[in-house]
Amino acid sequence: MKKIALEEHCMVPGLAAYWEGTMADVPKEIYERIRTRLFDYGEMRLREMDEAGIAKSILSVAGPGVQVETNTATALKTASEANDHLAAQIAPNKDRLYAFAHIALQDAHAAAKELERCVTQLGFKGALINGHSIGHYLDERQFDPFWAKAEELQVPVYLHPADPPVQYKSFDGYDALRRATWGWTVETGTHVLRMVFGGVFDRFPKAILAVGHLGETMPFLLWRLDSRAKLYGVKLKREPSDYIRENMYATLSGMYSAEPFNCSIAALGQSRVMFSADYPFENWVTAGKFMDDVQVPEDVRSAVAWSNAAKLFRLE
């Protein structure tokens, strides 16, 4: 079955140092395999897409990117250059490769302008944000100009994991838990809930959020979120679960297991779940095989693998 993949990473020269700083504890062989694929926009990437039945892929610069840059001018310049480089790299395969804008939120008004440039001039399909921006989260009012522009353009904002500003003491002695195993789920799920409980989707009711790893546990928590919001007197126009169901999409990236997949479909609806792999940190063939083999009705498989993303990103 043909597929569209959404959380698929690449690298540009100006941002490599940011990413390499996060890979110090990764074995050299694995690091080299990932790095080679991040910088490849042609033969290797397309061949591995074909092996997994992936017809189209939306690329994004691997984190942490400019989200960790403390100099605003540097962040803005680096992000703009990254987007220009990415546009040039995908141009030879524009029927198969697309892109999310790399956005510096250190200046929200400039971020809004860069998002508009990327969407209207470069043909990008939205933005991918690598977590908090030097400790600032997307629920903060300072980011409203960015949300207003994303809502106006009707393009998704894909929230990607990042390390927390300060590591949790509860992980002391358990480094394997700090990042992809568990820590990023805690950090990213909390970021999503800050947006929900902070009223982002009351202020911007047509804004679109995409979240990987089958929604970072959100589908599993809907009833409890509504229950506790009432208990604590959270003032929102709707229940938390309504925003998660109506403003958020969950993607499959890095979660190739039938039980959480079926939970996400049941909780959010089949129109709100989309295929992804998290390449090259995950394997496209593994992701593709899961999508082909998971025991679900064929209309669900087709929606998740293709039609939901095709409609949302206008890729028909």
**What pLDDT, in 10s, does the model give residues 79-138?**
999 999 999 999 999 999 999 999 999 999 999 999 999 999 999 999 999 999 999 999
Position 46 scores a pLDDT of 98
Active site residues: 278
Distance CA(197)–CA(140), nearest Å, equals 11
Distance CA(121)–CA(99), nearest Å, equals 13
Find residue 127's DSSP bridge partners: 101, 157
Domain CATH number, residue 164 = 3.20.20.140
The tokens for 296 are 């679900």
Helix boundaries (H) for 159-293: 183-197, 200-203, 212-215, 218-231, 240-247, 258-268, 284-293
Nearest to 35 by CA among 52, 51, 23: 23
Position 179 scores a pLDDT of 87
- Residue 24 pLDDT > 80, yes or no? no
First to last CA, the chain: 15
Position 103 scores a pLDDT of 99
Identity of the residue numbered 253 = S
Query: Strand 3-10's sheet: what is its strand order?
Result: 3-10, 54-61, 97-99
Are the C-beta atoms of 126 and 150 separated by less than 8 Å?
A: yes
Q: Which of 70-79, 161-170, 190-199, 244-253 has the lowest mean pLDDT?
A: 161-170
Number of folded domains in the chain? 1
The strand pair at 248-251 and 157-160 is best described as unpaired
Distance CA(55)–CA(195), nearest Å, equals 33
- Residue 295 pLDDT > 90, yes or no? yes
Distance CA(288)–CA(277), nearest Å, equals 8
Identity of the residue numbered 312 = L
- Residue 21 pLDDT > 90, yes or no? no
Position 286 scores a pLDDT of 97
Distances (CA, A) of 253 to 92, 160, 210, 268, 285: 26, 11, 11, 16, 12
**3-state SS class at 122:** coil
DSSP string, 169-195: GGGTT-GGGTTTTTHHHHHHHHHHHHH
Find residue 211's DSSP bridge partners: 159, 250
Distance CA(22)–CA(64), nearest Å, equals 8
The strand pair at 101-102 and 127-130 is best described as parallel
Position 297 scores a pLDDT of 98
- Residue 23 pLDDT > 90, yes or no? no
Are the C-beta atoms of 260 and 285 separated by less than 8 Å?
A: no
Find residue 273's DSSP bridge partners: 250
pLDDT band of 252, cuts 50, 70, 90: very high
Domain extent at residue 174: 3-312
pLDDT band of 43, cuts 50, 70, 90: very high
Burial class (CB in 10 A: 0-12, 13-18, 19+), 226: middle
pLDDT band of 193, cuts 50, 70, 90: very high
Are the C-beta atoms of 209 and 249 separated by less than 8 Å?
A: yes
